[in-house]
A and B are shown apart, each in its own frame.
Chain A
Amino acid sequence: MRDKLFHIILLVVSMFVPLVCGGIIYSLVTDAYMAFEHFGLVNFLTSTDWSYTPGNEQYGALPFITGTLLTTLLALLFCIPFSMPVSLFVGEYFKGTKLAATLSTVVDLLAGIPSIIYGIWGFFTLRPIIMALNISPQGSSILTASLVLAIMIVPYASSLSAEFIKMVPNDLKESAYSLGATHAEVVRKVVFPVAGSGIFSSYILAIGRALGETMTVTMLIGNTNHMPHSIVSTGNSMASVIANQFGEADGLRLSALIAIGLVLFVITALVNGVGKLLIKRARID
């Protein structure tokens, strides 16, 4: 009897989470419907106009989709040279040593820092450097936001990759050594091919993190609503435009912001789905 009761409580409580998730999707779709109906789905996704003129409001999501994808892609590029050595250091070269444990703790600590702190650091420290180097006259740009994002996603990419690198079977590596391979050759010819899909998936999860980052990006990207023409120009990302504008938005504009939220939700869900799928495959191998 008691067992059955526990069973039922468990069922009810765990059903609650999917219910909330379903509720979020439902309200996103219903609230975004007005914008999709008014502009048309394709036009909404491809239009670059974002204009508040009363009576002729134009809301297109392309500048923000571009901003999000650009910052994420650049962050990924900047993150690889730092996260890859860390994961090799922790997972292969200094595997199991105190030094590796300390390093991975410090890197994991980065993941625990609230994003507003990265934003403040970027605003007061990195931005003046960008200005001093004459890269961008006012320092706020897609590049500035990407650089800080890159640091933020290093722990996500490196700690999971390190786990996959650790999982590479020793007998494989030893057989390579017995054939006279150097350590670097083992890493290149054995570790990377075996742990490859696992490493790839950990970067996908890092992308998922970068896609939705709001506060840091808002503080550094410049928040202008037109298409960025280069990586040093100002722009806006999907998450930051929502954070910036929903407070005073109403009617069609509110619906357009919610529609952007829905698009972001779908992109993030897809990216995370792909990552999870790859991890599953990597485990089976």
Chain B
Amino acid sequence: MKMTLLKKMLVAVAVSATITACSNGAVSSISGAGATFPLPFYNAVFGEYALQTGIEVAYGGIGSGGGVRSLRDGVVNFAGSDACLSDEEMQQMPEVVHIPSCMGAVVLAYNIPGVETLHLSGQVIAEIYQGIITKWNDAKLLALNPGVNLPDKNIVPVFRTDGSGTTYVFTDFLSKASPSWQAKMGTGKSVNFEVGIAAKGNPGVANSVSQTPYTIGYVGSEYAFAKKIPYANVQNARGQMVEPTLQAISLAASCQIPQSTCVSITYSDVPNSYPISCFTWMLVYKEQNYAGRLENQAQANVQLLQYMLSDQAQTIAQEMNYAPLPKEVIELSRKNIQTLTYNGMPVSVN
């Protein structure tokens, strides 16, 4: 009696396992995980993609690091990341292709009652975040903001407590714009901030800034645009004070970009470009036959990547407050998608 019940259960398990394994007809889902920065865009664009093709794309916003881990473990079809893989990471994994999906920026949100425009330079931001400039009416800030009535109050800088692509882009910009920052603080997803308070995620920083007078914080542009938080104009490499707009962000990448698209575009030399701009990438294995994946899964993956570069997807990006990719970058990425293989042969998509 005992045996029959156990046997029945075992049979049921075995049957369901076989059904799952045999369902190799049409691909019905693609899975991805990684950066939270493009999450609102991905939610919108993958929703539209599911409507058009019936393929559900499940994307988990678990952070760039978690996304890369998932790809390394072979549990996802693509990883989302705000930073290219480091040399060390590349050595641990088979060859990975980076496909940018959209652009964004880091803006400096501030809360100074009565002040409506603020101009900042990389050096001044670096000194604020290093605790060298401590008052809003510091001579260096007054020099950048003639005619603005900056108060005699202490500056409270707000930074990200969680490791973040936003921090990476922000510190990458500061390292280029300020020698003292490069020497003492450096670039990273987490750096050792010594002054200020920390908050988790863009919402945490944005709320801390909007709720606390005399604070300044760095926030992802898509979040600041959507929430209409006041943010500063920042001086670019050409010495121009630039307001972060989608056009100014896209301009930052309108220059010579290497084939891999793995390049930092902060402090770009392009006139009128916003200096704290960045790409966000979808990372896929060049050889798509991994962890038992079937060829139709690889084809679905390639189709999704192609869709992300389409005008429609790029328009959705703008609706969600992300900057579209410049034409040159889309062309480069189309070529990069063509290099993907399944068992060494190019993935054919009809």
Distance of A138 Cα from B188 Cα, bound (Å): 26
Do residues B198 and A222 form an inter-chain contact, with CB atoms below 8 A?
yes
Q: Are the C-beta atoms of B162 and A244 separated by less than 8 Å?
A: yes
The listed residue (B2, B66, B194, B215) touching A248 by CB distance below 8 A is: B66
Out of A4, A53, A247, name the residue touching B62 (CB < 8 Å): A247
Please classify how large the interface on chain B is, using the bins under 10, 10 to 19, 20 to 34, 35 or more: 35 or more
Q: Which residue of B lies closest to A1 (CB)?
A: B1
Q: Could you tell me if B200 and A223 are in contact, using CB atoms closer than 8 angstroms?
A: yes
Contacts A138-B197, A223-B197, A223-B199: A245 and B2 contacting too (C-beta < 8 A)?
no
User: Across the interface, do B65 and A249 meet the contact criterion of CB distance under 8 Å?
Assistant: yes
Contact mask for chain A residues 100-144; partner B; CB cutoff 8 A; 1 contact, 0 none: 000000000000000000000001100110010000011110000
> Are A123 and B62 also in contact (CB < 8 A) when A138-B197, A234-B197, A250-B69 are?
no
User: B198, A223: Cβ atoms under 8 Å?
Assistant: yes
17 further A-B pairs in the complex, CB-CB below 8 A; given A138-B197, A224-B193, A245-B161: A1-B1, A1-B2, A5-B2, A53-B186, A53-B192, A54-B188, A127-B211, A137-B154, A138-B212, A140-B208, A223-B199, A234-B198, A245-B162, A247-B66, A248-B64, A248-B162, A250-B69
A-B residue pairs, 5 tightest by C-beta: A248-B163, A247-B63, A223-B198, A223-B161, A248-B65
Report the nearest A residue to B68, measured CB to CB.
A250
Instruction: Verify A138–B156 contact, CB threshold 8 A.
Output: yes
| B189 at the A interface (CB under 8 A) | yes
Q: Interface size (A, Cβ < 8 Å)?
A: 35
Binary B-proximity of A227-263 (CB < 8 A = 1, otherwise 0): 0000000101000000111011110000000000000
B197 touches A140 (CB 8 A): yes
- What is the bound-complex CA distance between A140 and B204, given in angstroms? 12
Q: In the bound complex, how far is the Cα of B200 from the Cα of A140, in angstroms? A: 13
B residues in contact with A139, CB < 8 Å: 212
In whole angstroms, what is the CA distance A5 to B211 when docked?
61
Chain A contacts of B5 at CB under 8 A?
5
Is A158 interfacial (CB-CB < 8 Å)? no
**Is B191 an interface position by the 8 A CB rule?**
yes
Q: Answer whether A218 and B200 are a contact pair too, CB < 8 Å, given A1-B1, A245-B190.
A: yes
Q: Determine which of B62, B197, B204, B211 lies in contact with A128 in the assembled complex, contact meaning CB atoms within 8 Å.
A: B211
Q: Is B207 an interface position by the 8 A CB rule?
A: yes
B164 interface contact, C-beta 8 A = yes
B163 and A247 contact, CB distance less than 8 A: yes
A8: chain B residues at CB < 8 Å are 2
A-facing mask of B207-234, CB < 8 A → 1, else 0?
1100110010000000000000000000
Sample (21) of A-B pairs whose CB atoms are under 8 Å apart: A1-B1, A1-B2, A5-B2, A52-B188, A53-B192, A54-B188, A123-B207, A137-B154, A138-B156, A139-B212, A218-B200, A222-B197, A223-B200, A224-B198, A226-B194, A234-B197, A245-B163, A247-B63, A248-B65, A248-B66, A248-B162
